[in-house]
Chains A and B, each alone.
Chain A
């Protein structure tokens, strides 16, 4: 398809990007690359410089320093060719409220040289039933799906999604995820920012964490911050009468007791689980709430983005 006509390998190439507002440096030398066909996710707390970075890539803001290429072009030049090939879902942006879903998709489609059929786009975002409803009468989630439809109608090669599922209920979020995954199946590149770790976990092929204007970690979601190298946690409760000392020897990095809850940190979770469970079965000991878990992306994220959040980490881990 059109894919073959575009020679560049990288969808996005950012080198030493900087942006200052008066005396505040919001982005302080950020570099990363996004390959074509990748779902790249930028994570970070509020005020980390995410939106500034995204909006520079989208051409909404000018940069103070560094080099940026989006589909081989400099977004600062505001070229129409680039806008033909990029779809943008902003965090918040209105539409002409008095027009219907179908009219809006048709209207935004006209701006593009190549475009998808209106009804195909409406079906893709599952707004078929709302086709002839005016934008002002849509619910929040429906509006967000309309945003996605308007970004997709021009057959973009690259799609920016700035917090696309904020305010969605869990069902709607799953639905949006499946839509986004179907974009990847079409060979599109997706640049995603989100607050939701499960969203990054589900969708992203690569994650970058931004904090205070710099990138502090980049990697696949399962490897970020050495997540795959961390010990797993085995947790369970012991019935009354049993103590930590009664447990068998297992390969572990440490074990502890919090109230009646045992936590075993181990790099050999399979072996350790087998030892503990067979010990329990032999003695007919009922282990409650038994679970084995790798640190979640959220644990790693909170660890990376600041010690102030450490209380939060344990709280999340207990859950």
Chain B
């Protein structure tokens, strides 16, 4: 650890570490949650890939559908483990009064949220390894050393954007029962027009423009770019990265607004 860190900051970082452990323990005890996170992306992977076995995509440079599809599923997995889980989970914590209780303890609020984010990153990492493992083992996915930096950076940017947006969006969720509806209302339509499950070159331009404005398309494209065998260099698509950075800034802004609001005033 750096010598610059004060003892109290060091203590707080230790607390974040402990809190990540508790969050993880709680997370894995709830079986339904684990199933949603891990089984859904894998299920989509198997179904879609089986339907389109050995199809080639001319629009993407004649690559195999699997090569296109695995990064798409990865993008979907990142969004569901970060944005969807964070938004619904935080809305429940808010409605149950857990956030309020936490606010009354000496644990700094940033430390609590940092731990929730840390715990989410652990889950994203596991989901990524699992999805890519299945992709490499069963489908024609190749992870190339040269574009690995692009893959990792895109995953990191996507996690940052969708995690912060997941916390930030809670302000607009009236109650935890409405959370899945609100979240799916945002995610599902965008997913279908964002080149996640199938290439969307054929859809109307105005729909494509909408998709390009939001970060789902950027993450899906960015990951696909890193996997595309025609990609040269380190595999980072600048435009996609820029979109994700901008949405991370939006997410962080909304997240801070949400965290600053005293829980008592909400009630």
Contact = CB atoms under 8 A, between A and B. Distances in A.
Interface string A90-131: 101111111100010001101111000000000000000000
Contacts of A95: 98, 101
A62 B265 contact: yes
B96 interface: yes
B112 to A, nearest CB: 9
B214 interface: no
A166 B101 CA distance: 18
A98 B26 contact: yes
A132 to B, nearest CB: 13
Contacts of A59: 104, 262
B100 interface: yes
B106 A111 contact: yes
Contacts, number: 76
Contact of A94 (B27, B101, B108, B264): B101
Given A96-B98, A99-B25, A134-B29, A112 B264 contact: no
Interface string B14-51: 01001100100111011000000000000000000000
A111 B101 contact: no
A149 to B, nearest CB: 13
Contacts of B98: 93-96
A111 B112 CA distance: 10
B106 A96 contact: no
A26 to B, nearest CB: 12
Contact of B100 (A62, A93, A107, A112): A93
B262 A62 contact: yes
A80 B8 CA distance: 12
Contacts of A58: 104, 264
Interface of B: 15, 18-19, 22, 25-27, 29-30, 93, 96-98, 100-101, 103-108, 262-265
Interface of A: 55, 58-62, 80, 83-84, 86, 88, 90, 92-99, 103, 107-108, 110-113, 134, 150, 154
Nearest to B93: A94
Contact of A55 (B19, B96, B107, B264): B264
11 contacts: A60-B262, A61-B265, A83-B104, A84-B106, A93-B96, A98-B30, A99-B26, A110-B15, A110-B18, A111-B105, A113-B106
A172 to B, nearest CB: 21
A57 to B, nearest CB: 11
A108 B102 CA distance: 9
Nearest to B98: A94
Given A58-B264, A99-B29, A112-B105, 13 more contacts: A59-B104, A60-B103, A61-B262, A83-B104, A86-B104, A88-B104, A90-B97, A93-B96, A94-B98, A96-B22, A103-B25, A113-B106, A154-B105
B262 A94 contact: no
B262 A111 contact: no
A189 to B, nearest CB: 16
Contacts of A154: 105-106
A24 B30 CA distance: 43
A277 B244 CA distance: 90
A111 B25 CA distance: 18
A61 B22 contact: no
Contacts of B105: 83, 108, 111-112, 154
Contacts of B93: 94
Contacts of A60: 100, 103-104, 262-265
Contact of B97 (A94, A103, A110, A134): A94
Contacts of B265: 60-62
Nearest to A92: B97
Nearest to A85: B106
B26 to A, nearest CB: 4
Nearest to A110: B18
A95 B262 CA distance: 18
Nearest to B18: A110
Contacts of B29: 98-99, 134
A306 B155 CA distance: 64
The 6 lowest CB-CB distance pairs between A and B, nearest first, are: A60-B264, A94-B96, A93-B97, A111-B107, A98-B29, A98-B26
Contacts of A90: 97, 100-101, 104
Contacts of A99: 22, 25-26, 29
**Of B18, B22, B93, most A-chain CB atoms within 10 Å:** B22
A62 B25 CA distance: 35
A213 B98 CA distance: 28
